[in-house]
A = this chain, B = another copy of it.
Amino acid sequence: MAEYYLECITCGRKYKPEKGLYWCSDCGSIMGTLQVIYDYESLKKLEDWKKVFSPKGSIVQFEKLLPVGFSTDIDRFIGGTPLFKFRNKFGIKDMMIKFDGISMSGSYKDRASIIAVNKALEEGYDTIFCASTGNAASSLGLLSAHTALETYIFVPATIPGGKLAQLVAAGAKIISIETTYDQAFDISLEIGLRNNWYCRNSAVNPYLLEGKKTGAYEILVQNKYEVPDYCIVAVGDGTVISSLCKGFSEFYKLGLVEKTPKVIGVQAEGAATVKHVFEKGRPFKPIIEDADTVADSICVGNPRDVIKACSFMEENGGYFESVSDEEILAAIAQLAGETGVFAEPAGAAPLACLKKLLFKGVINPGDDVCLMVTGNGLKDVDALGKMSDIRKYTVEEAYKLFEGVKNEV
């Protein structure tokens, strides 16, 4: 692991890492989210990084750029997800798709959970908890399963079937609450911290973003340090977008690339709070709105990592866009139908965004674009909504189907 200190995103106060420290005591849990700061000049000289990193490596290959050591039996199976490349897809000449749906629990959250599990073990905790719309929960449940950690999970009762099934199978202690994700978050934080459990809530635990930033690292390593023009990802609490900005920026600071991709954060029209905060400009102030979208993973009205997201985004030069639920659902089928990548709604939102930005002329067909697909479609099959429309044939009907032309199905 690397040497580091923590710094408040708002007031800049520096902290030495210590057990139980999650946010700046002066600025509070939302304004005072902490970021992990390394000595990049030293790191730059530490290794010939391009010789260290491999396109097929797991998250473990980035250990010297992370605030935690790896010690579990499954670390080396986290990360290292595919970067698909297609020519002339979706109107883009060089199209990349980073698909984190092919992973232990089927979502991007595995990159954060493995950091949390290792950190909790390192600091001697016996219990770990998180609040989640579903993916962080199922990821933590499965990734902590082989360790001695007891795992408490706070989720809204609306959690999709696939994510709940993963939790049930993993034997996590599930507190399913008839409320929003936003309130489940508050409840978890109060109960978890009072009981001295390790907190795996991305937005308050500064280390989790560090795990997530490896997605950005991998895009650059797997693309042989060629930098795409745009990288598009869905935004809920704001941690993933922050992690992409930070990951790209760190590779720039290490001298591994000469520029960074422009990062675009896509939200659902019904849950676009981070976008609204960003567009109001500095000083960024958290707001709370109602949230309603088919994309459960980003159905967040009180985004906890909004200050970091807006700050990193400003530095990156990227911006936020929103798309409708209809556009998201259409994108699921278009993505799977043209590439074989089956995404959950939030995972398909970047494609919906790309189509919108192509139409607006913001992105051009000649631009290199990378879509970050953060979750597997199997996580939420009900979102597809067309399943009951599939016609069922009798044996006789099936035999007769192809007696004439073949396109009757």
- Residues of chain A at the chain B interface (Cβ within 8 Å): 54, 56-57, 73-74, 77, 80, 82, 84-87, 89, 102-106, 127, 142-146, 152, 154, 157, 161-162, 164-166, 168-171, 173-179, 183-184, 187, 190-191, 194-195, 332-333, 335-342, 376-379, 381, 384, 386-387, 390-395, 398-399, 401-402, 406, 409
CA of A177 to CA of B140, assembled, Å: 39
Q: B residues within 8 A CB of A195? A: 402, 406
Among residues of B, the one whose C-beta sits closest to the C-beta of A113 is B340
- A183 contacts which chain B residues (CB < 8 A)? 395
Does the CB pair A165–B73 fall under 8 Å?
no
Q: Which residue from B184, B342, B399 sits with its C-beta under 8 Å from A187?
A: B399
In the complex, besides A86-B146, A169-B342, A175-B401, 10 extra interface pairs with C-beta distance below 8 angstroms are A77-B84, A106-B378, A162-B381, A165-B377, A168-B386, A169-B336, A171-B333, A174-B409, A177-B398, A191-B401
Q: Are A377 and B169 in contact (CB under 8 A)?
A: yes
In contact, A162 and B162 (Cβ under 8 angstroms): yes
Partner of A142, one of B57, B105, B144, B336: B336
Hey, which chain B residues are within 8 Å of A144, CB to CB?
340
Taking CB atoms, residues of chain B closer than 8 Å to A378 are: 106, 162, 165-166, 376, 378-379
Closest 6 CB pairs of A and B: A169-B336, A165-B381, A378-B378, A171-B337, A142-B340, A56-B56
Asked if A143 and B340 make an inter-chain contact with CB atoms under 8 angstroms apart, the answer reads yes
Q: Give the residue of B57, B77, B190, B387 whose beta carbon is less than 8 angstroms from that of A82.
A: B77
User: A398 — which chain B residues lie within 8 A by C-beta?
Assistant: 154, 175, 177, 184, 187, 191
Chain B residues positioned under 8 Å from A401 (CB to CB): 175, 191
Residues in B neighbouring A402, C-beta threshold 8 A: 191, 194-195
Residues of B within 8 A of A104 (CB): 102, 340
**CA distance in complex: A82, B78 (Å):** 10
Q: List 27 A-B contacts (CB under 8 A).
A: A56-B57, A56-B80, A74-B84, A104-B340, A142-B340, A142-B341, A145-B336, A145-B337, A145-B338, A157-B392, A161-B387, A162-B162, A164-B381, A168-B333, A169-B332, A169-B336, A169-B337, A170-B340, A171-B337, A176-B390, A176-B391, A177-B392, A177-B393, A177-B398, A187-B398, A191-B398, A191-B401
Question: A349: shortest Cβ distance to chain B, in Å?
Answer: 15
Please give the distance in Å from A28's CB to the nearest CB on chain B. Answer: 21
- Max chain B Cβ within 10 angstroms of own Cβ: one of A177, A332, A379: A177
Write the nearest CB–CB distance from A185 to chain B, whole angstroms: 12
Closest-CB distance, A54 to chain B (whole angstroms): 8
Task: Find the B residue at minimum CB distance from A158.
Answer: B392
A339 contact set on B, CB distance < 8 A = 74, 145-146
Distance, CA A144 to CA B339, complexed state (A): 9
8 Å CB contact of A168 from B102, B145, B335, B390: B390
Does A178 lie within 8 Å of B146, measured CB to CB?
no
B337 touches A384 (CB 8 A): no
Within 8 Å CB of A102, what residues of B? 77, 102-104
Given the contacts A77-B84, A169-B332, A336-B170, A177 and B394 also touching, CB distance less than 8 Å: yes
Question: Is A333 a contact partner of B169 (Cβ separation < 8 A)?
Answer: yes
